[in-house]
Structure 1
Amino acid sequence: MLENHAKLMQFFSEAKQVTGRKKLQKMVYILQSFGIPFEERFQFHFYGPYSEELTLRIEELCNLGFINEEKEVKSNYFQYHYSLTNDGTQFLNQFSVNMPNCTESIELLQGKSSRFLELVSTMLYFKDLSKDEVESKVHAVKPKQKYSDEEMSEAWKLIGELGLKLH
């Protein structure tokens, strides 16, 4: 049980801070898609792949005092910021976690918007289809996002970069 929590804590150790619940979900899903051994199960949801297990584990880590969740009030919504606490760091230092270093990939993902990561994660969710079928499926399941051809190309490029960095 604690191993999956420790893997997430290792992720936060490398990420330093993640801003946004949606971004957190997409980053973990994308890394998992490239073989990073996160165990959370994802299903397709309104904003793309989503894991209830991930949400619950983050909540548990916050309750244990290992992850800090800071709620920032925006004009019409709350923005959440997540980071590893000192207690989390101390725990992680005593726990052997078998995780590849993916700091470079995490930084690459952090530089992207949640909307863009939603596109990338949705594309990866349908990765067993052909490129044209993936793009058609994305437009079908995300019509309101109105992703452009340029965004699709940029997403394919990022998927290629991540594949090289993580394998």
Structure 2
Amino acid sequence: MLKDHAKIIHAIAASEEIIGRKKLQKMVYIAKKLEFPFQERFQFHFYGPYSEELTLRVEELCNMGFLNEIKEKKGGYYQYRYTLTESGKEFLSLNEQVSMPNLQDCMSDMNCQNARFLELVSTILYFDNLPKEEVQEKVFTLKSKQRYTEEEVGTAYQYIESLKGKAGH
């Protein structure tokens, strides 16, 4: 029943701490695109791929006491930090059947990136059925406020390839 919840706990445990709801969304989406078995459905939203299901699961995990959500005021907005609680660690040890080899390498690497870059990577992956030129056009159109450069798009494609290597593909 809580297998999908356990996968999210596993992802956050692999990262130790994730700062930002947007970053968490992008990391899980990218991991899913790397063929890790996350079940959440994503739609394209203001900040790229977004999953209402993931938002609800994270909220449930906080309510169950498995995740710590710390709300911090940063300038004019709030930022959220996610870490596992002791109960979360215990739950994870009881759910060892959630085996995702290589997840830790991928999540740790993504966690070192900023949310803006992960938004670009996840947007590229969202349109990965299109040719590169069309994907770049979509990025420049849909994400015009982010002012991504061609160089950043190229870097994002290289990053995706390096993550695929870490994921074992």
TM over 0.5: yes
Residues 65-122 of structure 1: CA deviation (Å, up to 9, x unaligned): 0000001111100110001110011111112213223111112111111011000000
Residues 42-66 of structure 1: CA deviation (Å, up to 9, x unaligned): 0000000000000000000000000
Separation in 1, partners of 2:34, 2:66: 26
Give the letter for the 1:34 counterpart: L
Number of paired residues?
167
Separation in 2, partners of 1:125, 1:64: 31
Gaps of 5+ in 2: none
- Residue 97 of structure 1 aligns to a residue whose secondary structure is coil
The alignment's TM-score, normalised by the length of structure 2, stands at 0.96
What is the percent sequence identity of the aligned residues? 53
- Residue 40 of structure 1 aligns to a residue whose secondary structure is coil
- Residue 37 of structure 1 aligns to a residue whose secondary structure is coil
Paired position in structure 1 for 2:101? 100
Paired position in structure 1 for 2:145? 144
Paired position in structure 2 for 1:53? 53
Gaps of 5+ in 1: none
Residues 109-137 of structure 1: CA deviation (Å, up to 9, x unaligned): 11111011000000000000011111011
Give the letter for the 2:81 counterpart: H
Separation in 1, partners of 2:121, 2:102: 21
Separation in 1, partners of 2:151, 2:115: 17
Structure 1 vs Structure 2 CA RMSD:
0.9
Alignment of 1:10-159 (within 5 A): 10-95=10-95, 96-159=97-160
